[in-house]
């Protein structure tokens, strides 16, 4: 028997319950992973609340964890029992002691990276990889805007941008979060509660504004993000922390300078093993070399059975960086 987190109805964190179950064997193209550390991501709250409903109920939750392969399917050749692995694109159910995962969605973990580092950084790091390297390729010395720079994705983006020699301008809502992002490598920070973001962008760029904005906030920042863009600039809307962007009048893209907009996700960029290998190798080399540091504070580590408390903490907007469930 093993323990996992399930929910049978949409709602607040209290719908999450720990239940016992008997893990099934992995299918021929799957591996069974005994999780050692489980990543908590903001998208998990969207699934729990019903913004992104799961395929069926009751449902598991979570897609990211690191652990040890305990069984392999008959067709799996590149991964073996005992391998240290990490994954971020499993079927829902990673909030569990044991989880079966498609083998092509699993990366073998270098010994230099701990389970906790991996689970805290894999989904977020792969997200930063596709954003800064694929959706729009950030160049050295380039100035760009990245909202929520002190969040889990944001702090990795600050470090990655610095490694690329680029100038990340971040937003955050407190002096403490601004300081954390600056320490991670942000070039400049804007306090969105006290400052007008488009005005500050014009000041920082000498009136030129930026060619790309990365926005995971959604509804609340949609129009101000567009106002930060140069003519024919790109708005990358990759999350909905304040609610989804809906009812968009495409004419606004014309009015604000023939702008482009994209709504990407990891599953549109990592679709096969070759793409997974390229992304994970680049991420792992940056973590193993210390260019990207991944730290999880004791206050943001939660026992698996306390997933509801972890979600309450995440949604309170008091966390900085990544949070983990520990089986």
CA-to-CA distance for 265 and 115, rounded, in angstroms? 24
Is 238 in the same domain as 288? no
Q: Are 23 and 32 in contact (CB under 8 A)?
A: yes
- Domain with 34, as residue range(s), is 2-121+270-326
- The number of domains in the chain is 2
Specify the DSSP element, H or E, that contains 189.
Answer: strand 188-191
Q: Tokens representing 119?
A: 């689970």
User: Over the stretch 74-94, which tens digit does the pLDDT of each residue have?
Assistant: 999 999 999 999 999 999 999
- What CATH number is given to the structural domain containing 188? 3.40.50.720
Is 168 in the same domain as 247? yes
Domain-embedded: residue 102: yes
Q: If you search the block for the tokens 């729990």, which residue do you land on?
A: 48
User: Over the stretch 105-147, which tens digit does the pLDDT of each residue have?
Assistant: 999 999 999 999 999 999 999 999 999 999 999 999 999 999 9
Peptide bond into 58 cis (omega under 30): yes
Query: Tell me, what DSSP letter sits at residue 129?
Result: H
Domain-embedded: residue 128: no
Is 250 in the same domain as 152? yes
Domain-embedded: residue 135: no
Q: How confident is the model at residue 42 (pLDDT cuts 50, 70, 90)?
A: confident
Structure pTM? 0.90
What is the structure's pLDDT at 297? Answer: 80
CA-to-CA distance for 50 and 243, rounded, in angstroms? 12
- What CATH number is given to the structural domain containing 17? 3.90.180.10
């Amino acid at each position: 028997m093993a323990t996992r987190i399930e929910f049978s109805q949409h709602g607040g964190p209290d719908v999450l319950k720990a239940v016992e179950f008997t893990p099934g064997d992995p299918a021929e193209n799957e591996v069974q992973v005994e999780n050692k550390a489980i990543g908590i991501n903001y998208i998990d709250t969207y699934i729990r609340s019903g913004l992104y409903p799961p395929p069926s109920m009751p449902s598991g939750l979570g897609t990211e964890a690191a652990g040890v392969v305990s069984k392999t399917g008959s067709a799996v050749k590149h991964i073996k029992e005992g391998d240290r692995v990490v994954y971020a694109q499993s079927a829902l159910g990673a909030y569990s002691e044991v989880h079966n995962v498609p083998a092509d969605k699993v990366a073998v973990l270098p010994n230099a990276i701990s389970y906790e580092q991996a689970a805290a950084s894999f989904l977020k790091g792969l997200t930063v990889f596709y954003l800064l390297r694929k959706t729009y390729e950030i160049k050295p010395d380039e100035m760009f805007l990245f909202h929520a720079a002190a969040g889990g994705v944001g702090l990795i983006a600050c470090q990655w941008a610095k490694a690329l020699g680029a100038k990340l301008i971040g937003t955050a809502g407190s002096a403490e979060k601004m300081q954390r992002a600056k320490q991670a490598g942000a070039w400049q920070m804007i306090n969105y509660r006290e400052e007008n973001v488009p005005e500050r962008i014009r000041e920082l760029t000498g009136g030129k504004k930026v060619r790309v904005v990365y926005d995971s906030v959604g509804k609340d920042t949609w129009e101000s993000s567009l106002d930060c863009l140069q003519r024919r600039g790109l708005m990358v809307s990759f999350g909905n922390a304040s609610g989804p962007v809906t009812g968009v009048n495409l004419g606004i893209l014309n009015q604000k300078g023939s702008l482009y907009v994209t709504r990407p996700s990891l599953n549109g960029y990592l679709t096969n093993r070759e793409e997974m290998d390229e992304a994970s190798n680049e991420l792992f080399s940056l973590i193993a070399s210390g260019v990207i540091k991944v730290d999880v504070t004791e206050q943001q580590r939660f026992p698996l059975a306390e997933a509801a408390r972890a979600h309450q903490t995440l949604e309170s907007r008091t966390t900085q960086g990544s949070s983990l469930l520990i089986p």
